[in-house]
Amino acid sequence: MKNQENITRMPAIFIGHGNPMNAITDNPYRDAWLVLGQSLPKPNAILLISAHWQTRGTQVCAVEKPQTIHDFGGFPAELFAQQYPAPGSPKYAKMVCDLFPDNKVTSTLDWGLDHGAWTVLQSLFPMADVPVFQLSLDVNLDFAEHFKLAKQLASLREQGVMIIGSGNIVHNLGKLNMQGKTSEWTISFDNYIKKALESEDEAALLDISRAGDSAKLAVPTDEHYLPLLYIAAIRHANDTMQFLTESYDLGALSMRSVIYQ
């Protein structure tokens, strides 16, 4: 890992996390996360926005020792045995709260690291020696409001905080294909978002109805798409963008991951 002291701005990363089993099996996504982790600077803290923490009102987790949350069912015992004992960061959680007037973001002790966080982090930072704290997704906000809130987090990147979003651009569990055949609508919507990111077209990211019928199938609920908006919102004018992975899993999951640095 590079020395953080020589880095003036932390990367911002969106990870398509997919199946929780990606964390403990041999697969191209985990391989890519491991390689990325070896090249990343070591941040002072990580702010993680996961598809799997939704609340009424935006909350930030301020616990000193966040628990590893196994928020899933039907998987082997090996997955439930996984622990990611990274420390929390009440200091940086307070810093996030202070960025917003009128208590728009409040702190809580009632969370830890859900599987959208630890399944990715244990590959990116396997030593679990970087403080991690999560930001929730407010179910009351629309896409534009999430994007506006996210923009106010951008300054954290200059303060040694790496911001990571974890979700999936296309995520429709009801349309999974166990034979792995990728649906045309999956490819269509993923390509729509790819072009929007490449052209920095914020309007296209916020109004996904422009993608046509594929949008309703690709984003039947918004929680897996929203973390991408948080990362796109904090893109710096001087950032370069790289797609870390660009493939599909089980026909209805886009595993596209994006890094700005």
In DSSP terms, which residues pair with 138 in a beta bridge? 55
| Model pLDDT, residue 180 | 78
| CATH number for the domain harbouring residue 176 | 3.40.830.10
Estimate to the nearest angstrom the gap between the alpha carbon of 64 and the chain centroid: 21
Largest CA-CA distance found in the chain, in angstroms, rounded = 50
Model confidence pLDDT, tens digit, residues 205-261: 999 999 999 999 999 999 999 999 999 999 999 999 999 999 999 999 999 999 999
Mean local confidence (pLDDT), 188-193:
98
- If you ran DSSP here, which 8-state letter would residue 64 be given? S
> Confidence class of residue 7 from pLDDT cuts 50, 70 and 90?
low
In DSSP terms, which residues pair with 132 in a beta bridge? 46
Hey, what are 55's tokens?
């609340």
Contacts of 78 (CB under 8 A, 6+ apart): 24
Nearest partner of 15 among 209, 219, 171, judged by Cα: 171
Mean pLDDT of the chain: 96
β-pairing verdict for 12-16 and 257-260 = antiparallel
pLDDT greater than 70 at residue 43: yes
* Secondary structure percentages of the chain, helix, strand, coil, to 5: 40, 20, 40
CB 99 within 8 A of CB 153: yes
Instruction: Of 2-16, 89-103, 173-187, give the lowest mean pLDDT range.
Output: 2-16
> Confidence class of residue 3 from pLDDT cuts 50, 70 and 90?
very low
Range of the domain at 19: 4-260
C-alpha distances in angstroms, 29 versus 127, 211, 235, 248? 19, 26, 23, 10
Model confidence pLDDT, tens digit, residues 50-104: 999 999 999 999 999 999 999 999 999 999 999 999 999 999 999 999 999 888 9
Nearest partner of 124 among 221, 42, 211, judged by Cα: 42
- Overall number of domains in the chain: 1
% of the chain beyond a pLDDT of 70: 97
pLDDT greater than 50 at residue 15: yes
Long-range contacts of 63-68 (CB under 8 A, 24+ apart): 63/88, 63/90, 63/109, 63/111, 63/112, 64/88, 64/90, 66/111, 66/112, 66/113, 66/132, 66/133, 66/134, 67/112, 67/113, 68/112, 68/113, 68/118
Contacts of 105 (CB under 8 A, 6+ apart): 58, 59, 60, 96, 97, 99, 135, 149
pLDDT greater than 60 at residue 1: no
> Confidence class of residue 4 from pLDDT cuts 50, 70 and 90?
very low
